[in-house]
Structure 1
Amino acid sequence: MTDQTTFICQNCDTEFPADLPACPACGEPNPNLIEIPADDAELEELLTETLAHRPWWRSRLGCFSTLLVFLVIVGSVALGVYDGLKERTALREQQVAQLYQQAEEYAANQQTELAIAELNQLLTLDPAHPQARELLAQLRTQPTPTAPPVSEPRQNKAADLFEQAKTLTLQGDWQQAIELLKQVRDINPTFMPGEVSAALYNANFELGLRLETEGDLQGALHAFDEALVERPNDPAVTAEWEKVSLYLSLDSADPTDFENTLVVLNRLYAIDPNFADVADRLFDTYRNYGDALATQNEWCLAQARYESALTLRADSALETLANDAAFRCKNSERSKRATLTPTAQAATISGTATVTSTAAISQNETVVSGGGTLYFARFNSTDNLWEIIAHNLSNGSEKVVLSNGTQPAVNGQTLVYHSLVSTSEGLHSFNLSTGADVRVTKFAEDVLPRWGNDSLEFVFASQRSGDRRWRIYTTFADGKSDAQERGEGRTPALSPIENAIIYQGTDPQGNEPGLYQIPLGGGTAVRLTTGGSDRSPAVSRTGNIAFMSTRNGNWDIFVWDAATESVSPLVATAANEGLPVWSPDGTQLAFVSDSGGSWNIYV
């Protein structure tokens, strides 16, 4: 076994005392004794002198190894401070794209080791990059060309370090074990590569779990990133990575944005109710949300939030608040349900419909003169749950289609909705004829489904990714395929005639807000409107786009004319109007309005 006071020359493999300034056989400088240069000129002179004694490939690998370690350190620090800085986000995305392109070129030229190195560097910047993980897995399963024979001293040194690393893992010293395993790879990349990779995976995973328990979540996230480099898409590590990433995203969340905070906390609670202080934060958020709603006299909604908090733990003071809110809810005129009285001009629903509820018109009937069927979500304060209602505009009759669901979108006999069932969150499709229910997606963050035509494909928005950025996805109602990401954006809609997605978004730099159109199969996004508040587009059969905006100071509904590409007001009053939905034939529009002091649905 090599004595630890000696050093193996990286040029000629001669073993010599570690305190000598250079190898006695070839004159190679001892890197452990090289002084750090004071400036760039001194560094260039030192590198010129040092690299003159080394083969070109060894120098490149040494420099690359140093660069890789540097990037890992810089990347882990940068990820903690740049959230929300669009310029840095664009720079990182550019670096990731360049690294992936270089890796593909290396792979195409059979330069497997260089391709793997590029991918490892990429995954330090974007650990969830699916294409990089897939390519890395493919490259590691390919047979590698026979490497030049490694000298016996280097073999012995690698074996010695590997045994030391195994001992450290048995002692639970994961950090030191990781350092030694990295040294094994540097000294002899061909030494038991499978075993070294497995050991690095295990050590990083265990280190991440320990740091997670100790509360060092940034350190834990970095350790899980390193483990995913060894085993991309590993389910155990991915689950922990998602949990920690979701929790850390709360640090940058708006404290008054209760809805998004609840989405994240409920997701975390479903994954692991005992993780960190998730249960306490979920309780406090429900309670604070209820308090905020109570100050706005939204007693029914406040009661619902209080009741949700009480399902987490008993609290006598909160029970008093919940009972008071329930009493005020029952006696509030705004919480009383009124009967729909359709006319030839309009249909109205009074009561507990809120601006965040969603209406959809059944596309198996044509809405004319108050006819057809209107689908919408309404909160049932008696049973403390959301229900999706089908309202017949011809005779005013109503029926509950399903419970614990919101945001309905109907296409023929298929209704897609957002499920509120904690054990089955995500988007579901419901057959209106048979009652069959299919879970299509499994993320609570998936919201606002919209149909475009008579196919089974629909579009939705989600913050399911670890960076919590809004992105647009498409998928099919049969639930047999994974959702496909289509780019960043919110409140999307599918155009039934353009085979395109209309959405609320910006340019790649985060500027120029408005409504954009992008081909469904990918391509260049085109800006359609210029209003910073333009959102919730609805596309008619003729291609006209209705949307809501505060262009005139309050929420009104405008229309973008497909023929003239101009914008004009469609429904503009002193009240607020929004959430437009076209009838199947494109001749009528359903929307919500607070005209008269309460939120109603009009056609």
Structure 2
Amino acid sequence: MQHSYETYFPTDSEARDWRAAGARHWIALILFVSLVACVLGALVIPGALGFIVGQQQLEEQTHEAAIQHYNRGLGYLAENYPELAFAEFQIALKYDYTYEPARKKLLELQAKSNPAGRGLPAAQQQDRVAATLYDEARNLIAQKQWEDASRRLEQLRTLQADFRAAEVTTLLYQAYVEGGKEAVASGHIETARERFDGALSVRNGDAQVQTFRDLAVLYLEGKQAVGYNWQTAIQKFTLLYQRDPNYADVKKQLADAHAQYGDVAAKTSPCLAAREYDSALALNQDAAVAQKRTQVMAQCKQVITSPPTPTATAAPGTESFAYKIAPAIETKSCVGAGDISGVVRDALGKPMANALVGYSTDGANFATARTNANGQYQFALNKEPGTFTIAVLSADGKTPNPMQATAQYPGGNAIGCHIVIDWQKVQ
């Protein structure tokens, strides 16, 4: 059986269609490859740049460390301590082996006449320098020169980490801990924290040293808050004083914080100021603080017994509310929480439901609440004291109406933590 095959030739239009389809496929492939290249470039290039920048920063840091140890070596040479200088130059080269000044000094020291070290192999020279550093550190510890001792021991560990490692660790721990205690006693708390950090780097998890560090951190956090956040300063100093009333000058710092916070509060919140002055006087009797306390206490009693009942005239098209702060009726301290509450009434004295009331404290925190069917509102407060500004808000829920009440919240653990402020619309 024979098969016949006929040759097929596409028409011109078919050929054009095939060529166009092939071109489209190539264009799509080129676009896809370009897209993949762009994506990979977006991922790889930033990573590569980040690696390069990080590597440059690391090289700069190690070079700076090399310069620092080189300069220390020059100092030891000037003081005629060639062994210590030798160690510093070696450490400098460990940080940056290309640092030629340190290499040159090492060669000079090796070339100098020194019967004890001439001809010794490099390893033996290093052992001799390590032994010198170790002996120096022991003598410094015996003299209670903790900072110099810890510096020698750190040099030794950098130079030769396995040289009498257990004894070096014990001595370094002792130098850091005792140095930290000494710094606390002299009032250098930041230095103390650094030394306790050093001790923890040697013996991580040491409970006693961790406690020492925690106390130092409380003190430093209190000092950092002085002048701009008195509540935080008082809180930190109080925690520290409760744990160790004899820590540095924490008693004075706490008394001063209470007194200075009282000075700030006296301008607008006499009751809060009186409480702060009382706290300061409980820690330290001071005639000036006692006099201030007498003045603000008189103002505080006036606020409690005869609260102002402001009158206001509403401008056309606006609303205005008068308020009255009810006298405190508690005879016992609260337990960790308090509140501000009250009733909002219309011009006829009827309760206003769904009225919006808001408060702010220290110009920062802000909260709102709507009255219930009986015109009542309430804000729950925590144990922290503060000065609160309360107002009935306009329809936009943000803008206070003309009258605003200021209340001194004594805190959730004090008498008077339930504050009642009633409002009535002015015709």
What is the TM-score normalised by the length of structure 2?
0.47
- Structure of greater Rg: 2
Structure number with the bigger relative contact order (C-alpha 8 A, sep ≥ 6) is: 2
Higher helix share: 2
Give the number of the structure whose residues are more often strand, by fraction: 1
